[in-house]
Structure 1
Amino acid sequence: MFNIDLTVKNTPFPLSVQRKSAEDADAVYQLVLTAMRSGTPDIIELKCEGKTEKKIAVRASEVSGVQVIQKEGTAAGGGRPPGFFALSAE
């Protein structure tokens, strides 16, 4: 399973959707990247393959970053992918 995480301006947490194959994850990554480069306020709509009821819509001009991470089983260390800052209370 692959997670595609979107960093949105003025939002403290990433939005994410899942894809089952690397090819599908790369297609979503390219779609978001193309929308970000366009500079127009178009809406990007994405559905999650992992949780079929999950859908997100975001303005392309508000996306500041996108990353693809392969999710492997259970992750030690909280399950958060590298690349995003997270605070934890210990």
Structure 2
Amino acid sequence: MFTIDLTLKYMSMPLSVQRKEAEGAEATYQEIITAMRSKEPQLLELSCDRQTEKKIAVFSDRISAVMISEKSSTASSGRSPGFFSMAEEEVVKGEG
């Protein structure tokens, strides 16, 4: 399962949708990036593969970041995926 997280301007919590396949996650990521690069704001409507009733709509000019992460069944750290948690793990490993 792949999660696409959208960080919006002036909002501390990301919005997330999930895709079952890597290809679907990459296509959604590219759709969002293309909309972000557009000079005109676009309304993006996204749905979730895991919770099919979950839908979000957001204007592209409100998105400040987008990230894809893969949910691993072996992840036991309890941390959410992202750049911050990856950097934190590297510091901890470097100390020990």
Whether TM-score is above 0.5 comes out as yes
Q: Which has the higher helix share?
A: 2
Q: Which structure 2 residues correspond to residues 46-85 of structure 1 after superposition, within 5 A?
A: 46-73=46-73, 75-83=75-83
What residue is the counterpart of 2:39 in the other structure? 39
Question: Counterpart of 1:69 in structure 2: which amino acid?
Answer: S
Is residue 24 of structure 2 the alignment partner of residue 24 of structure 1? yes
Contact 1:39 1:60 in 2 (8 A): no
Higher Rg of the two aligned structures: 2
Question: Counterpart of 2:60 in structure 1: which amino acid?
Answer: A
Kindly report the root-mean-square deviation, in angstroms, between the aligned alpha carbons of the 2 structures.
1.5
Write out per-residue CA displacement over residues 3-62 of structure 1, whole angstroms, 9 at most, x where no aligned residue. Answer: 000110000011000000000000000000000000322110000001111000000000
Question: Counterpart of 1:9 in structure 2: which amino acid?
Answer: K
Normalising by the residue count of structure 1, what TM-score does the alignment of the two structures yield? 0.86
Q: Percent identity?
A: 52
Unaligned runs of 5+ in 2: 86-96
Contact 1:18 1:48 in 2 (8 A): yes
SS of residue matched to 1:78: coil
Quote the Cα distance in structure 2 between the aligned partners of 1:30 and 1:71. 19
Runs of 4+ that moved beyond 3 A? none
Question: Counterpart of 1:66 in structure 2: which amino acid?
Answer: V
Quote the Cα distance in structure 2 between the aligned partners of 1:73 and 1:54. 22
Unaligned runs of 5+ in 1: 86-90
